[in-house]
Structure 1
Amino acid sequence: MTTSKRFYSIPYVLWLGLFVIAPVLLIIYQSFKGIDGQFTLENYRIYFSSSTYLRMTLNSVFYAFVITVIVLLISYPAAYILNQLKHKQLWLMLIILPTWVNLLLKAYAFIGLFSAHGSLNQFLSFIGIGSQQILFTDFSFIFVAAYIEIPFMIMPIFNALEELNPSLISASRDLGANNWETFRRVILPLSMNGVKSGVQAVFIPSLSLFMLTRLIGGNRVITLGTAIEEHFMVTQNWGMGSTIGVILIIAMIAIMLLTGEKRKKGGRRH
Protein backbone atom coordinates (compact mmCIF):
# COMPACT_ATOMS: atom_id res chain seq x y z
CA MET A 1 0.00 0.00 0.00
CA THR A 2 2.82 2.36 0.85
CA THR A 3 4.61 1.57 -2.42
CA SER A 4 1.39 2.23 -4.35
CA LYS A 5 0.96 5.63 -2.67
CA ARG A 6 4.51 6.58 -3.48
CA PHE A 7 4.03 5.56 -7.12
CA TYR A 8 0.89 7.66 -7.54
CA SER A 9 2.54 10.63 -5.85
CA ILE A 10 5.32 10.78 -8.48
CA PRO A 11 3.39 13.05 -10.94
CA TYR A 12 2.50 15.42 -8.11
CA VAL A 13 6.09 15.57 -6.84
CA LEU A 14 7.42 16.16 -10.37
CA TRP A 15 4.88 18.93 -11.00
CA LEU A 16 5.64 20.55 -7.65
CA GLY A 17 9.38 20.34 -8.22
CA LEU A 18 9.42 21.59 -11.82
CA PHE A 19 6.77 24.31 -11.67
CA VAL A 20 6.84 25.52 -8.05
CA ILE A 21 10.12 24.77 -6.27
CA ALA A 22 12.47 25.16 -9.26
CA PRO A 23 11.10 28.60 -10.34
CA VAL A 24 11.29 29.89 -6.76
CA LEU A 25 14.88 28.70 -6.42
CA LEU A 26 15.75 30.34 -9.76
CA ILE A 27 14.24 33.63 -8.60
CA ILE A 28 16.21 33.47 -5.34
CA TYR A 29 19.42 32.67 -7.26
CA GLN A 30 18.81 35.47 -9.78
CA SER A 31 18.19 37.98 -6.98
CA PHE A 32 21.86 37.69 -5.97
CA LYS A 33 23.12 38.61 -9.44
CA GLY A 34 23.83 42.12 -10.67
CA ILE A 35 23.32 43.51 -14.16
CA ASP A 36 26.84 42.34 -15.02
CA GLY A 37 25.96 38.78 -13.96
CA GLN A 38 28.24 38.78 -10.91
CA PHE A 39 27.18 37.59 -7.46
CA THR A 40 26.23 40.56 -5.27
CA LEU A 41 24.06 41.71 -2.36
CA GLU A 42 23.62 45.11 -3.97
CA ASN A 43 20.02 44.40 -5.06
CA TYR A 44 18.90 43.83 -1.46
CA ARG A 45 20.86 46.85 -0.25
CA ILE A 46 19.17 49.05 -2.86
CA TYR A 47 15.75 47.67 -2.02
CA PHE A 48 15.95 48.21 1.75
CA SER A 49 17.66 51.60 1.48
CA SER A 50 15.43 53.05 -1.25
CA SER A 51 12.39 55.07 -0.18
CA THR A 52 10.85 54.37 -3.60
CA TYR A 53 10.81 50.60 -3.13
CA LEU A 54 9.65 50.89 0.47
CA ARG A 55 6.81 53.17 -0.67
CA MET A 56 5.88 50.62 -3.36
CA THR A 57 5.81 47.92 -0.68
CA LEU A 58 3.51 49.98 1.52
CA ASN A 59 1.30 50.76 -1.50
CA SER A 60 1.07 47.06 -2.36
CA VAL A 61 0.11 46.09 1.18
CA PHE A 62 -2.34 49.00 1.48
CA TYR A 63 -4.16 48.28 -1.78
CA ALA A 64 -4.22 44.54 -1.08
CA PHE A 65 -5.67 45.24 2.39
CA VAL A 66 -8.36 47.60 1.05
CA ILE A 67 -9.33 45.18 -1.73
CA THR A 68 -9.48 42.26 0.72
CA VAL A 69 -11.66 44.16 3.22
CA ILE A 70 -14.09 45.31 0.52
CA VAL A 71 -14.30 41.82 -0.96
CA LEU A 72 -14.86 40.28 2.49
CA LEU A 73 -17.64 42.76 3.37
CA ILE A 74 -19.43 41.87 0.12
CA SER A 75 -18.66 38.15 0.00
CA TYR A 76 -19.62 37.04 3.51
CA PRO A 77 -23.22 38.32 3.35
CA ALA A 78 -23.48 37.04 -0.23
CA ALA A 79 -22.24 33.57 0.77
CA TYR A 80 -24.55 33.54 3.81
CA ILE A 81 -27.62 34.49 1.75
CA LEU A 82 -26.57 32.10 -1.02
CA ASN A 83 -26.43 29.26 1.48
CA GLN A 84 -30.07 29.88 2.43
CA LEU A 85 -31.42 29.68 -1.13
CA LYS A 86 -33.19 26.67 -2.54
CA HIS A 87 -31.05 26.26 -5.68
CA LYS A 88 -27.82 27.43 -4.07
CA GLN A 89 -25.52 25.31 -6.23
CA LEU A 90 -26.98 26.91 -9.37
CA TRP A 91 -26.48 30.43 -7.97
CA LEU A 92 -22.95 29.54 -6.90
CA MET A 93 -22.16 28.37 -10.44
CA LEU A 94 -23.44 31.70 -11.82
CA ILE A 95 -21.06 33.52 -9.46
CA ILE A 96 -18.15 31.30 -10.53
CA LEU A 97 -18.84 31.71 -14.26
CA PRO A 98 -17.08 35.13 -14.59
CA THR A 99 -13.83 33.49 -13.45
CA TRP A 100 -13.84 31.53 -16.71
CA VAL A 101 -13.48 34.77 -18.68
CA ASN A 102 -9.92 35.87 -19.42
CA LEU A 103 -8.65 38.61 -17.10
CA LEU A 104 -7.49 40.73 -20.03
CA LEU A 105 -10.97 40.63 -21.60
CA LYS A 106 -12.56 41.72 -18.33
CA ALA A 107 -10.06 44.56 -17.98
CA TYR A 108 -10.84 45.86 -21.48
CA ALA A 109 -14.56 45.55 -20.77
CA PHE A 110 -14.17 47.85 -17.78
CA ILE A 111 -12.07 50.25 -19.85
CA GLY A 112 -15.07 50.54 -22.16
CA LEU A 113 -17.40 51.13 -19.21
CA PHE A 114 -15.24 53.66 -17.35
CA SER A 115 -13.71 55.62 -20.25
CA ALA A 116 -14.63 59.25 -20.98
CA HIS A 117 -17.17 58.18 -23.60
CA GLY A 118 -18.08 54.91 -21.91
CA SER A 119 -21.47 53.66 -20.76
CA LEU A 120 -21.09 54.90 -17.18
CA ASN A 121 -20.17 58.45 -18.19
CA GLN A 122 -22.98 58.50 -20.75
CA PHE A 123 -25.39 57.58 -17.94
CA LEU A 124 -23.94 60.27 -15.64
CA SER A 125 -24.35 62.85 -18.42
CA PHE A 126 -27.91 61.69 -19.02
CA ILE A 127 -28.93 62.25 -15.38
CA GLY A 128 -27.23 65.67 -15.32
CA ILE A 129 -24.09 64.93 -13.30
CA GLY A 130 -21.79 65.19 -16.30
CA SER A 131 -18.78 63.22 -17.45
CA GLN A 132 -16.32 62.26 -14.72
CA GLN A 133 -12.73 60.97 -14.67
CA ILE A 134 -13.36 57.39 -13.56
CA LEU A 135 -10.75 55.43 -15.47
CA PHE A 136 -7.11 55.69 -14.33
CA THR A 137 -8.06 56.39 -10.70
CA ASP A 138 -7.61 54.56 -7.41
CA PHE A 139 -11.36 53.98 -7.34
CA SER A 140 -11.44 52.23 -10.72
CA PHE A 141 -8.46 50.04 -9.82
CA ILE A 142 -9.91 48.96 -6.46
CA PHE A 143 -13.39 48.46 -7.94
CA VAL A 144 -12.21 46.22 -10.78
CA ALA A 145 -9.80 44.28 -8.58
CA ALA A 146 -12.55 43.67 -6.00
CA TYR A 147 -15.00 42.57 -8.72
CA ILE A 148 -12.49 40.05 -10.07
CA GLU A 149 -11.58 38.66 -6.64
CA ILE A 150 -15.11 38.30 -5.19
CA PRO A 151 -15.76 34.71 -6.41
CA PHE A 152 -12.52 33.54 -4.80
CA MET A 153 -13.72 34.83 -1.43
CA ILE A 154 -17.30 33.60 -1.75
CA MET A 155 -16.40 29.98 -2.54
CA PRO A 156 -14.45 29.09 0.65
CA ILE A 157 -16.90 30.98 2.87
CA PHE A 158 -19.85 29.26 1.16
CA ASN A 159 -18.23 25.85 1.67
CA ALA A 160 -17.55 26.59 5.34
CA LEU A 161 -21.16 27.69 5.91
CA GLU A 162 -22.51 24.66 4.07
CA GLU A 163 -20.53 22.31 6.31
CA LEU A 164 -22.01 23.78 9.49
CA ASN A 165 -24.04 21.31 11.53
CA PRO A 166 -27.65 22.64 11.56
CA SER A 167 -28.19 21.11 15.00
CA LEU A 168 -25.70 23.62 16.47
CA ILE A 169 -27.77 26.52 15.18
CA SER A 170 -30.97 24.90 16.45
CA ALA A 171 -29.36 24.31 19.86
CA SER A 172 -28.30 27.95 20.04
CA ARG A 173 -31.84 29.14 19.40
CA ASP A 174 -33.30 26.58 21.84
CA LEU A 175 -31.01 28.05 24.50
CA GLY A 176 -32.54 31.48 23.95
CA ALA A 177 -30.08 33.12 21.58
CA ASN A 178 -31.57 35.45 19.00
CA ASN A 179 -30.49 35.51 15.34
CA TRP A 180 -27.67 38.02 15.93
CA GLU A 181 -26.26 36.13 18.93
CA THR A 182 -26.47 32.85 17.01
CA PHE A 183 -24.57 34.38 14.12
CA ARG A 184 -21.96 36.04 16.35
CA ARG A 185 -21.34 33.12 18.72
CA VAL A 186 -21.94 30.08 16.48
CA ILE A 187 -22.02 30.74 12.74
CA LEU A 188 -19.20 33.29 12.47
CA PRO A 189 -16.62 31.45 14.63
CA LEU A 190 -17.31 28.12 12.90
CA SER A 191 -16.95 29.70 9.44
CA MET A 192 -13.66 31.49 10.20
CA ASN A 193 -11.62 28.83 8.39
CA GLY A 194 -13.49 29.74 5.21
CA VAL A 195 -12.85 33.43 5.87
CA LYS A 196 -9.13 32.79 6.36
CA SER A 197 -8.93 30.76 3.15
CA GLY A 198 -10.75 33.53 1.31
CA VAL A 199 -8.39 36.17 2.70
CA GLN A 200 -5.44 34.14 1.45
CA ALA A 201 -7.04 33.70 -1.97
CA VAL A 202 -7.64 37.46 -2.31
CA PHE A 203 -4.86 39.22 -0.39
CA ILE A 204 -1.95 37.25 -1.87
CA PRO A 205 -2.81 37.83 -5.57
CA SER A 206 -3.73 41.45 -4.80
CA LEU A 207 -0.15 42.11 -3.68
CA SER A 208 1.17 41.67 -7.20
CA LEU A 209 -1.54 42.90 -9.58
CA PHE A 210 0.27 44.57 -12.46
CA MET A 211 -2.05 44.16 -15.44
CA LEU A 212 -4.83 46.10 -13.72
CA THR A 213 -2.40 48.78 -12.53
CA ARG A 214 -1.43 49.32 -16.17
CA LEU A 215 -4.81 49.08 -17.88
CA ILE A 216 -7.21 50.33 -15.18
CA GLY A 217 -4.96 52.37 -12.88
CA GLY A 218 -3.06 53.97 -15.76
CA ASN A 219 0.24 53.64 -13.86
CA ARG A 220 -1.10 55.98 -11.17
CA VAL A 221 -1.30 52.94 -8.90
CA ILE A 222 2.27 51.76 -8.39
CA THR A 223 2.83 48.41 -6.68
CA LEU A 224 5.59 45.82 -6.43
CA GLY A 225 3.97 43.88 -9.26
CA THR A 226 4.39 46.93 -11.50
CA ALA A 227 8.06 47.23 -10.48
CA ILE A 228 8.71 43.55 -11.23
CA GLU A 229 7.21 43.90 -14.70
CA GLU A 230 9.24 47.06 -15.30
CA HIS A 231 12.54 45.43 -14.34
CA PHE A 232 11.96 42.24 -16.34
CA MET A 233 10.35 43.73 -19.46
CA VAL A 234 11.81 47.26 -19.76
CA THR A 235 15.05 47.82 -17.86
CA GLN A 236 16.15 44.15 -18.19
CA ASN A 237 17.44 44.28 -14.61
CA TRP A 238 16.43 40.74 -13.78
CA GLY A 239 18.38 40.73 -10.53
CA MET A 240 16.39 43.62 -9.06
CA GLY A 241 13.13 42.19 -10.40
CA SER A 242 13.95 38.84 -8.78
CA THR A 243 14.81 40.59 -5.49
CA ILE A 244 11.36 42.20 -5.41
CA GLY A 245 9.89 38.80 -6.30
CA VAL A 246 11.65 37.25 -3.29
CA ILE A 247 10.21 39.97 -1.05
CA LEU A 248 6.73 39.21 -2.40
CA ILE A 249 7.21 35.48 -1.81
CA ILE A 250 8.23 36.15 1.80
CA ALA A 251 5.19 38.42 2.25
CA MET A 252 2.90 35.74 0.83
CA ILE A 253 4.36 33.07 3.14
CA ALA A 254 3.86 35.43 6.10
CA ILE A 255 0.21 35.97 5.16
CA MET A 256 -0.33 32.21 4.84
CA LEU A 257 1.20 31.65 8.29
CA LEU A 258 -0.88 34.42 9.87
CA THR A 259 -4.17 33.25 8.35
CA GLY A 260 -3.48 29.53 8.51
CA GLU A 261 -5.40 27.22 10.79
CA LYS A 262 -3.63 26.85 14.13
CA ARG A 263 -3.43 23.34 15.51
CA LYS A 264 -4.45 22.91 19.09
CA LYS A 265 -1.80 21.37 21.28
CA GLY A 266 -2.54 18.73 23.85
CA GLY A 267 -5.49 17.20 22.09
CA ARG A 268 -9.13 17.56 23.05
CA ARG A 269 -10.01 18.34 26.65
CA HIS A 270 -12.82 16.53 28.31
Structure 2
Amino acid sequence: MTKKANVFYFIPYTFWLLLFVAAPLILIVYQSFFNVDGQFTLGNYQTYFQSGTYLRMTLNSFWYAFLITIFTLFISYPTAYLLSKTKHKQLWLLLIILPTWINLLLKAYAFIGIFSANGTVNDFLSFVGIGRQQILFTDLSFLVVATYIQIPFMILPIFNALEEMNPSFIRASRDLGANSFETFKRVVFPLTLNGVKSGVQAVFIPSLSLFMLTRLIGGNRVITLGTAIEQHFLVTQNWGMGSTIGVVLIIAMILIMLFTGEKKKKGAVRK
Protein backbone atom coordinates (compact mmCIF):
# COMPACT_ATOMS: atom_id res chain seq x y z
CA MET A 1 0.00 0.00 0.00
CA THR A 2 2.85 2.35 0.82
CA LYS A 3 4.61 1.71 -2.49
CA LYS A 4 1.39 2.31 -4.42
CA ALA A 5 0.86 5.59 -2.54
CA ASN A 6 4.41 6.71 -3.35
CA VAL A 7 3.88 5.94 -7.04
CA PHE A 8 0.58 7.83 -6.98
CA TYR A 9 2.21 10.94 -5.51
CA PHE A 10 5.03 10.70 -8.02
CA ILE A 11 2.67 10.85 -11.03
CA PRO A 12 1.84 14.61 -10.84
CA TYR A 13 5.52 15.50 -10.53
CA THR A 14 6.43 13.31 -13.52
CA PHE A 15 3.57 14.78 -15.54
CA TRP A 16 4.73 18.32 -14.69
CA LEU A 17 8.32 17.52 -15.72
CA LEU A 18 7.26 16.00 -19.01
CA LEU A 19 4.81 18.76 -19.90
CA PHE A 20 6.66 21.87 -18.77
CA VAL A 21 10.34 20.84 -18.89
CA ALA A 22 10.95 18.01 -21.33
CA ALA A 23 8.35 18.97 -23.96
CA PRO A 24 9.51 22.63 -24.37
CA LEU A 25 13.13 21.50 -24.63
CA ILE A 26 12.27 18.92 -27.27
CA LEU A 27 10.25 21.50 -29.23
CA ILE A 28 13.11 24.03 -29.13
CA VAL A 29 15.64 21.45 -30.35
CA TYR A 30 13.19 20.26 -33.04
CA GLN A 31 12.43 23.79 -34.25
CA SER A 32 16.12 24.67 -34.48
CA PHE A 33 16.48 22.34 -37.48
CA PHE A 34 13.99 24.28 -39.63
CA ASN A 35 14.50 27.51 -41.56
CA VAL A 36 12.10 30.39 -41.91
CA ASP A 37 10.30 28.56 -44.76
CA GLY A 38 9.72 25.45 -42.65
CA GLN A 39 12.33 23.33 -44.45
CA PHE A 40 14.64 20.97 -42.59
CA THR A 41 18.19 22.32 -42.48
CA LEU A 42 21.41 22.45 -40.50
CA GLY A 43 22.00 25.96 -41.77
CA ASN A 44 20.88 27.62 -38.55
CA TYR A 45 23.78 26.13 -36.60
CA GLN A 46 26.17 26.83 -39.46
CA THR A 47 25.03 30.45 -39.56
CA TYR A 48 25.39 30.82 -35.82
CA PHE A 49 28.94 29.47 -35.57
CA GLN A 50 30.15 31.24 -38.71
CA SER A 51 28.58 34.62 -37.97
CA GLY A 52 30.76 37.20 -36.26
CA THR A 53 27.61 38.98 -35.06
CA TYR A 54 26.26 35.98 -33.16
CA LEU A 55 29.68 35.16 -31.72
CA ARG A 56 30.01 38.75 -30.48
CA MET A 57 26.54 38.48 -28.94
CA THR A 58 27.66 35.29 -27.20
CA LEU A 59 30.77 36.98 -25.81
CA ASN A 60 28.69 39.98 -24.72
CA SER A 61 26.20 37.71 -22.96
CA PHE A 62 28.93 35.90 -21.03
CA TRP A 63 30.79 39.13 -20.28
CA TYR A 64 27.77 40.96 -18.89
CA ALA A 65 26.63 37.86 -16.98
CA PHE A 66 30.14 37.58 -15.50
CA LEU A 67 30.17 41.25 -14.44
CA ILE A 68 26.70 41.01 -12.91
CA THR A 69 27.71 37.87 -11.01
CA ILE A 70 30.97 39.41 -9.72
CA PHE A 71 29.29 42.65 -8.59
CA THR A 72 26.47 40.69 -6.98
CA LEU A 73 28.90 38.39 -5.15
CA PHE A 74 30.99 41.30 -3.82
CA ILE A 75 27.87 42.91 -2.39
CA SER A 76 26.07 39.76 -1.26
CA TYR A 77 28.78 37.89 0.63
CA PRO A 78 29.55 40.67 3.15
CA THR A 79 25.83 41.34 3.45
CA ALA A 80 25.05 37.68 4.15
CA TYR A 81 27.95 37.47 6.62
CA LEU A 82 26.80 40.54 8.56
CA LEU A 83 23.21 39.33 8.36
CA SER A 84 24.17 36.02 9.98
CA LYS A 85 25.62 37.96 12.92
CA THR A 86 22.67 40.28 13.53
CA LYS A 87 20.06 39.79 16.24
CA HIS A 88 16.90 39.95 14.11
CA LYS A 89 18.35 38.15 11.09
CA GLN A 90 15.04 36.69 9.89
CA LEU A 91 13.44 40.15 9.75
CA TRP A 92 16.36 41.59 7.78
CA LEU A 93 16.31 38.57 5.48
CA LEU A 94 12.61 39.15 4.83
CA LEU A 95 13.33 42.77 3.88
CA ILE A 96 15.96 41.58 1.42
CA ILE A 97 13.60 39.03 -0.12
CA LEU A 98 10.69 41.48 -0.28
CA PRO A 99 11.74 43.17 -3.58
CA THR A 100 11.61 39.79 -5.34
CA TRP A 101 7.84 39.83 -4.85
CA ILE A 102 7.57 42.87 -7.11
CA ASN A 103 7.21 42.29 -10.83
CA LEU A 104 10.42 42.75 -12.82
CA LEU A 105 8.73 45.09 -15.27
CA LEU A 106 7.58 47.38 -12.46
CA LYS A 107 11.10 47.53 -11.02
CA ALA A 108 12.52 48.33 -14.45
CA TYR A 109 10.10 51.24 -14.93
CA ALA A 110 10.92 52.48 -11.43
CA PHE A 111 14.61 52.66 -12.35
CA ILE A 112 13.74 54.43 -15.59
CA GLY A 113 12.26 57.20 -13.45
CA ILE A 114 15.27 57.19 -11.11
CA PHE A 115 17.92 57.31 -13.87
CA SER A 116 16.09 59.53 -16.39
CA ALA A 117 17.21 63.05 -17.28
CA ASN A 118 14.78 64.52 -14.73
CA GLY A 119 15.07 61.63 -12.29
CA THR A 120 16.22 61.43 -8.70
CA VAL A 121 19.88 60.70 -9.46
CA ASN A 122 20.22 63.60 -11.88
CA ASP A 123 18.42 65.90 -9.45
CA PHE A 124 21.04 65.01 -6.83
CA LEU A 125 23.92 65.50 -9.28
CA SER A 126 22.53 68.88 -10.25
CA PHE A 127 22.15 69.82 -6.58
CA VAL A 128 25.80 69.05 -5.75
CA GLY A 129 27.00 70.98 -8.80
CA ILE A 130 28.05 68.11 -11.06
CA GLY A 131 25.24 68.69 -13.51
CA ARG A 132 22.84 66.32 -15.21
CA GLN A 133 24.39 63.27 -16.89
CA GLN A 134 23.23 60.64 -19.35
CA ILE A 135 22.73 57.70 -16.99
CA LEU A 136 19.80 55.86 -18.51
CA PHE A 137 20.48 53.75 -21.62
CA THR A 138 24.10 53.10 -20.67
CA ASP A 139 26.07 50.00 -19.73
CA LEU A 140 26.41 51.36 -16.19
CA SER A 141 22.67 51.69 -15.64
CA PHE A 142 22.08 48.21 -17.04
CA LEU A 143 24.69 46.66 -14.72
CA VAL A 144 23.37 48.56 -11.68
CA VAL A 145 19.76 47.48 -12.23
CA ALA A 146 20.65 43.88 -13.11
CA THR A 147 22.88 43.59 -10.04
CA TYR A 148 20.17 45.05 -7.79
CA ILE A 149 17.62 42.56 -9.09
CA GLN A 150 19.93 39.55 -8.68
CA ILE A 151 21.29 40.36 -5.21
CA PRO A 152 18.62 38.44 -3.18
CA PHE A 153 19.29 35.28 -5.21
CA MET A 154 22.96 35.44 -4.25
CA ILE A 155 22.42 36.35 -0.61
CA LEU A 156 20.03 33.50 0.22
CA PRO A 157 22.29 30.48 -0.55
CA ILE A 158 25.33 32.17 1.04
CA PHE A 159 23.30 33.03 4.15
CA ASN A 160 22.04 29.45 4.41
CA ALA A 161 25.60 28.12 4.08
CA LEU A 162 26.78 30.47 6.83
CA GLU A 163 23.91 29.41 9.08
CA GLU A 164 24.71 25.72 8.57
CA MET A 165 28.40 26.20 9.39
CA ASN A 166 29.50 24.78 12.74
CA PRO A 167 30.73 27.68 14.96
CA SER A 168 33.19 25.33 16.66
CA PHE A 169 35.39 25.46 13.55
CA ILE A 170 35.80 29.23 13.95
CA ARG A 171 36.56 28.88 17.65
CA ALA A 172 39.13 26.19 16.89
CA SER A 173 40.77 28.44 14.31
CA ARG A 174 41.03 31.27 16.82
CA ASP A 175 42.40 28.92 19.49
CA LEU A 176 45.13 27.86 17.06
CA GLY A 177 46.22 31.48 16.67
CA ALA A 178 44.61 32.46 13.36
CA ASN A 179 43.50 36.05 12.98
CA SER A 180 40.15 37.13 11.51
CA PHE A 181 41.43 37.22 7.93
CA GLU A 182 43.09 33.81 8.14
CA THR A 183 39.97 32.36 9.76
CA PHE A 184 37.82 33.69 6.94
CA LYS A 185 40.27 32.56 4.25
CA ARG A 186 40.92 29.06 5.55
CA VAL A 187 37.70 28.21 7.40
CA VAL A 188 34.67 30.37 6.67
CA PHE A 189 34.95 30.80 2.91
CA PRO A 190 35.84 27.16 2.09
CA LEU A 191 32.96 25.91 4.23
CA THR A 192 30.50 28.26 2.50
CA LEU A 193 31.82 27.67 -1.02
CA ASN A 194 28.85 25.48 -1.94
CA GLY A 195 26.55 28.39 -1.07
CA VAL A 196 28.64 30.66 -3.30
CA LYS A 197 28.42 28.16 -6.16
CA SER A 198 24.64 27.95 -5.76
CA GLY A 199 24.44 31.74 -5.79
CA VAL A 200 26.58 31.90 -8.92
CA GLN A 201 24.24 29.46 -10.63
CA ALA A 202 21.18 31.44 -9.55
CA VAL A 203 22.65 34.70 -10.88
CA PHE A 204 24.89 33.83 -13.84
CA ILE A 205 22.49 31.52 -15.67
CA PRO A 206 19.48 33.94 -15.75
CA SER A 207 21.82 36.83 -16.57
CA LEU A 208 22.87 35.06 -19.79
CA SER A 209 19.42 35.46 -21.30
CA LEU A 210 18.33 38.92 -20.10
CA PHE A 211 16.39 40.84 -22.70
CA MET A 212 13.83 43.04 -20.95
CA LEU A 213 16.44 45.06 -19.05
CA THR A 214 18.64 45.38 -22.13
CA ARG A 215 15.73 47.04 -23.91
CA LEU A 216 14.23 49.17 -21.12
CA ILE A 217 17.37 50.12 -19.17
CA GLY A 218 20.16 49.57 -21.68
CA GLY A 219 18.21 51.08 -24.58
CA ASN A 220 19.30 48.18 -26.82
CA ARG A 221 22.90 49.36 -26.47
CA VAL A 222 23.52 46.14 -24.56
CA ILE A 223 23.02 43.32 -27.05
CA THR A 224 22.88 39.78 -25.73
CA LEU A 225 21.64 36.40 -26.94
CA GLY A 226 18.40 36.98 -25.04
CA THR A 227 17.84 40.09 -27.16
CA ALA A 228 18.53 38.10 -30.34
CA ILE A 229 16.05 35.38 -29.34
CA GLU A 230 13.38 38.01 -28.68
CA GLN A 231 14.00 39.62 -32.06
CA HIS A 232 13.85 36.32 -33.97
CA PHE A 233 10.64 35.16 -32.32
CA LEU A 234 8.74 38.46 -32.20
CA VAL A 235 10.13 40.56 -35.07
CA THR A 236 11.75 38.54 -37.86
CA GLN A 237 9.56 35.46 -37.15
CA ASN A 238 12.61 33.26 -37.75
CA TRP A 239 11.74 30.76 -35.07
CA GLY A 240 14.36 28.28 -36.28
CA MET A 241 17.23 30.69 -35.70
CA GLY A 242 15.75 31.80 -32.39
CA SER A 243 15.48 28.16 -31.30
CA THR A 244 19.08 27.53 -32.37
CA ILE A 245 20.29 30.35 -30.11
CA GLY A 246 18.08 28.94 -27.36
CA VAL A 247 19.71 25.51 -27.74
CA VAL A 248 23.17 27.08 -27.48
CA LEU A 249 22.09 28.91 -24.32
CA ILE A 250 20.66 25.73 -22.79
CA ILE A 251 23.91 23.83 -23.46
CA ALA A 252 25.91 26.72 -21.95
CA MET A 253 23.68 26.71 -18.87
CA ILE A 254 24.09 22.94 -18.43
CA LEU A 255 27.88 23.27 -18.68
CA ILE A 256 27.85 26.07 -16.09
CA MET A 257 25.75 23.96 -13.73
CA LEU A 258 28.17 21.04 -14.12
CA PHE A 259 31.16 23.33 -13.58
CA THR A 260 29.75 25.03 -10.48
CA GLY A 261 27.95 22.01 -9.06
CA GLU A 262 29.00 20.30 -5.86
CA LYS A 263 31.63 17.67 -6.57
CA LYS A 264 31.79 14.51 -4.51
CA LYS A 265 35.19 13.73 -3.14
CA LYS A 266 36.76 10.58 -4.51
CA GLY A 267 38.12 8.01 -2.14
CA ALA A 268 35.86 8.98 0.73
CA VAL A 269 36.14 6.70 3.73
CA ARG A 270 33.07 4.59 4.21
CA LYS A 271 31.84 3.91 7.68
| TM band (smaller chain) | over 0.9
TM-score (ref. length: structure 2): 0.98
Q: Percent identity?
A: 75
Per the TM alignment, residue 5 of structure 1 is displaced from its structure 2 partner at its CA by 2.2
Q: Who is 2:89 aligned against?
A: 88
Please provide the CA RMSD for this pair.
1.0
Find the aligned partners of 1:16 and 1:266 in 2 and give their Cα distance.
34
Per the TM alignment, residue 171 of structure 1 is displaced from its structure 2 partner at its CA by 1.2
Per the TM alignment, residue 187 of structure 1 is displaced from its structure 2 partner at its CA by 0.6
Find the aligned partners of 1:217 and 1:16 in 2 and give their Cα distance.
35
Find the aligned partners of 2:183 and 2:63 in 1 and give their Cα distance.
33
Find the aligned partners of 2:269 and 2:223 in 1 and give their Cα distance.
48
1:140 aligns with 2:127: no
Gapped runs of 5+ residues in structure 2? none
Find the aligned partners of 1:69 and 1:5 in 2 and give their Cα distance.
43
Q: Who is 2:47 aligned against?
A: 46
1:31-180 matches, cutoff 5 A: 31-180=32-181
**In the TM superposition, what whole-angstrom CA distance separates every residue of 1:211-250 from its partner, at most 9, and x where no partner exists?**
0000000000000000000000000000000000000000
Helix, strand or coil at the partner of 1:22 = helix
Find the aligned partners of 2:3 and 2:27 in 1 and give their Cα distance.
33
Q: Who is 1:245 aligned against?
A: 246
Higher deviation after alignment, 49-58 or 176-185: 176-185
Find the aligned partners of 1:252 and 1:4 in 2 and give their Cα distance.
35
TM-score (ref. length: structure 1): 0.98
Find the aligned partners of 1:181 and 1:123 in 2 and give their Cα distance.
41
Helix, strand or coil at the partner of 1:9 = helix
Name the amino acid aligned to 1:60.
S
Find the aligned partners of 2:208 and 2:93 in 1 and give their Cα distance.
26
Per the TM alignment, residue 169 of structure 1 is displaced from its structure 2 partner at its CA by 1.1
Gapped runs of 5+ residues in structure 1? none
Name the amino acid aligned to 1:227.
A
Per the TM alignment, residue 269 of structure 1 is displaced from its structure 2 partner at its CA by 7.5
Find the aligned partners of 2:222 and 2:158 in 1 and give their Cα distance.
29
Find the aligned partners of 1:186 and 1:4 in 2 and give their Cα distance.
44
Per the TM alignment, residue 6 of structure 1 is displaced from its structure 2 partner at its CA by 2.1
Helix, strand or coil at the partner of 1:258 = helix
Name the amino acid aligned to 2:14.
V
Q: Who is 2:232 aligned against?
A: 231
Find the aligned partners of 1:229 and 1:268 in 2 and give their Cα distance.
50
Give the number of equivalent residue pairs. Answer: 270
Find the aligned partners of 1:114 and 1:192 in 2 and give their Cα distance.
35
Name the amino acid aligned to 1:172.
S
Name the amino acid aligned to 1:24.
L
Q: Who is 1:27 aligned against?
A: 28
